[in-house]
Amino acid sequence: MGIRKKIYEIRLASLINDSENKRIGIDLKDDDLGFYLGFNLRCYLSKEKSDRPESGYLWSKSQIIAETLFEVKATASEALFEINYVQFSDDEKNDLLFFVDWRSFEVSNSSPTECFEVRVNSDLKDQFKRLENNKSFGEFCIRLITDRIVSNLIEKTLRYANLDKEPGDDSLHQKIKDIFSENSQDFDEYARRIQGDDLEDQLKAISEIDRFVQRLGSIASNLEKIKFGGYRK
């Protein structure tokens, strides 16, 4: 997303005089930071003040003397889905922002990219990017969009998962199952309920999944921290 923020600053003299290693904590959930398939951590030495012109030292606007870049990246194969901007038809482009285009229900054998594609209206690409970078409401809106996509993926995966054998390592089934396991949820139990003959229990399971996905995306707490203008009654 191209968001930059100074995380920590320390004087070089204190490092030289301190014989012990320093451990610096970085809050990756910082509200001002944004991530897309990873992040960059840049460490650098900079002068506190510029040298005098007569010193002979060249001076740059950034004041950086030396720097090291640490990159943390997630590959597309590790992500649950990617966004693909496409040209929508004339009767859709004015009112449709995105949709999940399913290609295969072989969720237990196929990777996410083989099963579906998340398509976003290319005419709204600039607006979508602005939304991502909006500090007031952007994150909340993106979470709502992601919530709808993830709910769709989870429900379809539960419905079409093959429970008679172990899923493929890179399959959509395995990726969704991992999300359930990491959040103390039983994927197989929900799959059996949604694939079962009890229609009432199917509806209850779908409702429970919708609530689970909202908790997973921290929808309510994200709305709670938004600061609105004006007065509250």
Q: What is the pLDDT of residues 87-102, one digit of tens each?
A: 999 889 889 999 999 9
**Residue bearing the bigger pLDDT, 20 or 177:** 177
Q: Which of 129, 166, 150 is nearest to 215 (CA)?
A: 150
Return the pLDDT at 76.
Answer: 47
Residue 58 has pLDDT above 80, yes or no: no
What's the DSSP call for residue 166? Answer: P
Backbone φ and ψ of 124, nearest 5° = -110, 15
**Residue bearing the bigger pLDDT, 59 or 74:** 74
List strand residue ranges (DSSP E) for the chain, in order.
38-46, 64-73, 83-86, 98-102, 116-121
What's the DSSP call for residue 8? Answer: -
Residue-wise DSSP of 113-125: HHHEEEEEEGGGH
Return the pLDDT at 34.
Answer: 58
Q: Which of 196, 218, 221 is nearest to 206 (CA)?
A: 196
Q: Which of 156, 158, 159, 194 is nearest to 177 (CA)?
A: 158
Segment among 65-74, 106-115, 140-149, 205-214 with least mean pLDDT: 65-74
Mean pLDDT of the chain: 81
Q: Count CA atoms within 13 Å of residue 125 on its CB side.
A: 9
